[in-house]
């Protein structure tokens, strides 16, 4: 089973401990939300209604797909855990020269390193095994220390329990960076067995427990305050999980966060003082809470695509220059962080009991001065975010100022924030920004997914493998659980590329009967319009009807909007290109779809 390597509480006694912590956490959240306890931030909050629990549409996967760990039956949405496979890999890195933040680490790190060093010193076989392991690590060392560590963390999250340490997912479902170092496993198994890493793990297990106990309460308070500010209910298991993994063998100043499909994972370690990077964990938690609300409106967000144009020269990663949903998500999160940031000085305390009018007047003056100073600090952060390329932070910052005084929760408010945006005004404002040369980067990385289903069929069509694309579509049509509209859309395009416009036209008409996907519906109408335009003789009236129908599709995507408007102005003509008889022709209008996307990043 995937994830059996996660510390077994039933065996080691931690499952009961953590289960009780989860119960207490959920009870605390419920009490805070029902009683209306207010969290800090830019203003007082009133707990409101629930948020959407649907997963982001771009991340939906079947329940059989391999995952990071396995959720318990009726399991918790948020877990604080440790992992023996992660301990093995972190210990191996330490044995091979990984010393980052060693002086600021918890004492257990030095203790484990000493135990391993003693084992290596007393046996030539262990030394040989360690040397082979370290040679592999040296050969796969990357120039970026963070990426070098991340590849081993990715691998550890997909390993089963020792001594087997078998990957719990097929290679096609594992993160690409993990695949870069997967061949370390035979060497790791050999070293772990000879150096008795399991016995060392058991020896220091109580120290891991103590670290978890210290971290639990601050993390609970952070989640409480965030939920109250967002006015969202207690997180229940909806197929997604937030996993907070403690590994004190890693550097405290380098927490590692990533999103794997429905699992939001952060690997972190407290410093010697016991402090933990709560701000970065909160950032991942905001992704966990905000993303479902944004991705559930991804089709509506396509009208914001013009905002990608001003960020072409911004110091952002490629995904934020090409995916408006990803850009909006990060801007919303940064706006929340700006509204709730620690401004560096305390707010005045209201006098308790019966006080003289002069005391209350003095408090009001102090509070007013505090609010002005705090707002200036927050505004500095917003301005920095904007200059780093997050061009919609200022808009959402203003929206959350209003949100703090309204009774509705984030689930209800999100729609108004997005639908109420004046895109032209925000775009004009973004065009006036003088971007910095270097951006802030993004703490959270999303593991690239190997294409599956209709995404894989689309890829095969682009590569000219029409038979492969058709086979995937046929398989989906035979499965009552699959989206038959998208599968039929693929088949219709395959027929068109194979030079069979008559049957293709019939399949596009079938797509209109069964699909509910706005993108698929709009483009099916456009393809029908183009087919009518190229008939002999052309049926222009029928074509115009289809182009108008495409424009009438609710939340019509920007690429389809442009193609339909072009079809209304000018009849479609087959591109006059020279091609071989065996080369497929696909009048997809791909250039139109890429209209707002910049070129790929320079390598």
* Residue 602 banded pLDDT, cuts 50, 70, 90: very low
Whether residue 282 lies inside any domain: the answer is no
Whether residue 289 lies inside any domain: the answer is no
Whether residue 277 lies inside any domain: the answer is no
For residue 103, the SS3 value is helix
436 and 491 assigned to the same domain: no
For residue 83, the SS3 value is strand
Q: Once rounded to an integer, what is the mean pLDDT over residues 334-346?
A: 95
Q: Are 423 and 306 in contact (CB under 8 A)?
A: yes
Distance CA 56, CA 327 (A): 14
- State residue 464's pLDDT score: 87
122 and 61 assigned to the same domain: yes
359 and 418 assigned to the same domain: yes
Q: Are 145 and 100 in contact (CB under 8 A)?
A: yes
Structural domain boundaries, residue 47: 9-268
Q: Which of 251, 268, 285 is the last residue of a domain?
A: 268
Whether cis (ω within 30° of 0) applies to the bond prior to 537 is yes
23 and 149 assigned to the same domain: yes
Q: Is the pLDDT of residue 65 over 80?
A: no
Whether residue 2 lies inside any domain: the answer is no
* Tens digits of residue pLDDT in 450-481: 566 777 888 888 888 999 999 999 998 998 87
Work out the mean pLDDT of the chain and round it to a whole number. 81
Domain count, the chain: 3
442 and 474 assigned to the same domain: no
- Beta strand spans in 233-333 (E): 241-246, 256-260, 263-268
For residue 445, the SS3 value is strand
405 and 364 assigned to the same domain: yes
Could you tell me the two tokens for 443? 């703490």
* Residue 169 banded pLDDT, cuts 50, 70, 90: confident
Whether residue 600 lies inside any domain: the answer is no
116 and 234 assigned to the same domain: yes
Distance CA 466, CA 469 (A): 5
Q: Are 456 and 472 in contact (CB under 8 A)?
A: yes
- State residue 301's pLDDT score: 79
Q: Is the pLDDT of residue 68 over 80?
A: no
Q: Which of 446, 467, 492 is the last residue of a domain?
A: 446
577 and 539 assigned to the same domain: yes
Distance CA 598, CA 603 (A): 14
Q: Which of 423, 446, 469 is the last residue of a domain?
A: 446
Q: Are 584 and 468 in contact (CB under 8 A)?
A: no
Q: Once rounded to an integer, what is the mean pLDDT over residues 377-396?
A: 96
Whether residue 571 lies inside any domain: the answer is yes
Q: Are 272 and 106 in contact (CB under 8 A)?
A: yes
Distance CA 36, CA 407 (A): 12
378 and 494 assigned to the same domain: no
436 and 537 assigned to the same domain: no
Q: If residue 417 lies in a helix (H) or strand (E), which one and from where to where? A: helix 410-419
Phi, psi at 459, each rounded to 5°: -60, -40
Whether residue 3 lies inside any domain: the answer is no
- State residue 172's pLDDT score: 66
* Tens digits of residue pLDDT in 3-37: 333 332 222 223 322 333 443 444 343 333 333 32
395 and 469 assigned to the same domain: no
For residue 267, the SS3 value is strand
- State residue 482's pLDDT score: 77
475 and 359 assigned to the same domain: no
- State residue 297's pLDDT score: 76
CATH number for the domain spanning 588: value is 1.25.40.10
- State residue 57's pLDDT score: 32
Please tell me the pTM assigned to this model.
Answer: 0.67
Whether residue 411 lies inside any domain: the answer is yes
Say what the alpha-carbon torsion angle 299, 300, 305, 308 is, to the nearest 10 degrees: -90
Whether cis (ω within 30° of 0) applies to the bond prior to 380 is no
């Amino acid at each position: 089973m995937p994830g059996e390597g996660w510390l077994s509480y039933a065996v080691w006694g931690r499952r009961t401990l953590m289960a009780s912590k989860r119960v207490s956490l959920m009870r605390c959240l419920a009490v805070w939300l029902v009683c209306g306890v207010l969290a800090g931030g830019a203003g007082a909050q009133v707990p409101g209604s629930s948020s959407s629990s649907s997963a982001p549409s771009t991340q939906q996967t079947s329940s059989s797909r391999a995952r990071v760990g396995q959720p318990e039956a009726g399991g918790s949405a948020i877990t604080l855990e440790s992992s023996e496979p992660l301990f093995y890999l972190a210990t191996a890195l330490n044995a091979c020269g990984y010393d980052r933040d060693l002086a600021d680490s918890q004492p257990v790190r030095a203790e484990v390193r000493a135990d391993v060093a003693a084992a290596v010193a007393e046996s030539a076989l262990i030394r040989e095994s360690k040397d082979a392991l370290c040679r592999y690590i040296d050969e796969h060392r990357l120039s970026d220390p963070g990426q070098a560590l991340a590849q081993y963390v990715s691998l550890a999250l997909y390993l089963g329990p020792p001594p087997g340490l078998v990957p719990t997912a097929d290679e096609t479902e594992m993160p690409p960076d993990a695949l870069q170092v997967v061949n370390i496993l035979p060497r790791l198994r050999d070293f772990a067995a000879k150096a008795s890493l399991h016995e060392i793990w058991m020896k220091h297990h109580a120290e891991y427990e103590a670290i978890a106990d210290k971290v639990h309460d601050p993390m609970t308070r952070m989640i409480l305050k965030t939920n109250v500010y967002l006015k969202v209910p207690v997180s229940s298991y909806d197929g997604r999980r937030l996993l907070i993994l403690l590994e004190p063998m890693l550097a405290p100043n380098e927490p590692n966060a990533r999103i794997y499909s429905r699992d939001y994972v952060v690997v972190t370690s407290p410093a010697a003082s016991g402090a933990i990077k709560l701000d970065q964990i909160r950032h991942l938690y905001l992704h966990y809470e905000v993303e479902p609300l944004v991705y559930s409106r991804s089709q509506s967000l396509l009208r914001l695509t013009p905002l990608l144009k001003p960020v072409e020269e911004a110091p952002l990663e490629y995904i934020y220059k090409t995916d408006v949903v990803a850009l909006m998500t990060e801007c919303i999160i940064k706006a929340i962080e700006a509204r709730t940031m620690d401004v560096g000085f305390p707010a005045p305390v209201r006098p308790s009991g019966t006080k003289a009018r002069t005391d209350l007047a003095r408090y009001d003056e102090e509070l007013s001065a505090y609010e002005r100073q705090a707002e200036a600090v927050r505004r500095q952060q917003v301005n920095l975010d904007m200059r780093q390329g997050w061009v919609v932070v200022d808009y959402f910052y203003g929206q959350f100022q209003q949100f703090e005084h309204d009774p509705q929760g984030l689930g209800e408010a999100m729609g108004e924030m997005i639908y109420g945006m004046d895109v032209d005004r925000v775009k004009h404002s973004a065009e006036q920004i003088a971007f910095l040369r270097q951006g802030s980067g993004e703490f959270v990385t999303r593991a690239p997914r190997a294409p599956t289903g209709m995404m894989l069929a689309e890829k095969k069509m682009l590569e000219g493998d029409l038979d492969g694309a058709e086979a995937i579509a046929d398989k989906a049509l035979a499965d009552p659980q699959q989206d038959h509209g998208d599968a039929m859309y693929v088949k219709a395009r395959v027929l068109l590329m194979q030079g069979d416009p008559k049957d293709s036209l019939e399949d596009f008409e079938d797509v209109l009967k069964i699909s509910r996907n706005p993108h698929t519906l709009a483009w099916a109408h456009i393809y029908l319009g183009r087919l009518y335009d190229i008939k002999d003789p052309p049926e222009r009236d029928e074509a115009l009807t289809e182009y108008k129908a495409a424009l009438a599709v609710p939340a019509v995507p920007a690429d389809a909007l442009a193609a339909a408007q072009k079809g209304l102005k000018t009849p479609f003509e087959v591109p006059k290109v020279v091609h071989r008889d065996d080369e497929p022709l696909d009048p997809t209008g791909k250039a139109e779809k890429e209209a707002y996307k910049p070129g790929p990043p320079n390598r």
